[in-house]
Amino acid sequence: MEGFKEDIMNDSILQDTPAIHLELVRKSEEIEFTMPSDLYVGTLLKTLVSSKPNGRFLELGTGIGLSLSWMLDGMNEGSQLISVDNDPRLITIAKECFGTDERVSLELADGSAWIKNYSGAKFDLIFADAWPGKYSEIEEILELITKGGFYVIDDMAVQPNWPKGHDKNAEELIAYLEKREDFTLTKMNWSTGLIIAVRTK
Ligand SMILES: C[S@@+](CC[C@H](N)C(=O)[O-])C[C@H]1O[C@@H](n2cnc3c(N)ncnc32)[C@H](O)[C@@H]1O
């Protein structure tokens, strides 16, 4: 684009990486966890949760806690976050790292069962970073978002580690989201391929 100066939009300069970041990277290496969310998703999540003071947030797929650390950094005192993973080893690590933060609840559960059994208040942002709430239980998870709330997913651009045929799942999910008349969304070919949808009705 004429007049566009790429050099002033250096997106590798990140604001305030969480203090615990290096420790989480070390733990990922130690347990050979290969799926942490990238820094770009982290910074975006922090920005979005910052827009919802006293908000309620949900993460499906705690993993090693990288995205969780960014969200916690963006949350004010009155905000709350539930993060769910079905791997006891990862929930144990997350409890060691974040367990003293009273704003966070770390739940060891299968995401599908968790979504189906949940009957609490809706969320102002859901980051769906596991199969459930993304490729399954999509209607149920979207139901749990407040009006004006965000639904965020990553890994939507074709990834080298995708199993054969997974591109079809991603295509179907995108088509489904685009047809929803109660959400408006933006697809971003940035980071690992992000979609941000906002409930409008
Ligand atoms: C892409 S990783 C999440 C990365 C994480 N956001 C981070 O920053 O480290 C996906 C996570 O989903 C979890 N997971 C996979 N299947 C699940 C299920 N059925 N229910 C709950 N968690 C699941 C895995 O254990 C893994 O930690």
Give 64-89 as a 3 state SS string: CCHHHHHHHHHCCCCCEEEEEECCHH
* Residue 112: pLDDT over 90: yes
Structure tokens given for 60 = 């499906």
Residue 11 lies in a domain: no
Question: Per DSSP, what are the bridge partners of residue 104?
Answer: 81
Ligand 1 pocket member 35 (CB < 6 A): yes
Residue 162 lies in a domain: yes
Residue 75 lies in a domain: yes
Domain limits at 120?
A: 16-199
Residue 120 lies in a domain: yes
Structure tokens given for 157 = 């651009």
* Residue 5: pLDDT over 80: no
Structure tokens given for 112 = 């599908």
Residue 9 lies in a domain: no
The answer to whether residues 36 and 62 touch, using CB atoms and an 8 Å cutoff, is no
Which CATH number does the domain housing residue 52 bear?
3.40.50.150
Ligand 1 pocket member 69 (CB < 6 A): no
* Residue 76: pLDDT over 60: yes
Residue 5 lies in a domain: no
Ligand 1 pocket member 149 (CB < 6 A): no
Q: How far is the CA of 90 from the centre of ligand 1 (A)?
A: 9
Edge-to-edge strand list for the sheet holding 194-199? 104-108, 80-85, 56-60, 123-128, 145-153, 194-199, 183-188
Question: Per DSSP, what are the bridge partners of residue 136?
Answer: 132
How many angstroms separate the Cα of 98 from the Cα of each of 103, 105, 111, 116? 9, 9, 20, 26
Residue 84 lies in a domain: yes
* Residue ID of nearest Cα to ligand 1 atom 12: 61
Q: How far is the CA of 64 from the centre of ligand 1 (A)?
A: 9
Domain count, the chain: 1
Q: Name the band, by pLDDT with cuts 50, 70 and 90, for residue 117.
A: very high
**Interval 45-68: pLDDT, tens:** 999 999 999 999 999 999 999 999
The answer to whether residues 127 and 45 touch, using CB atoms and an 8 Å cutoff, is yes
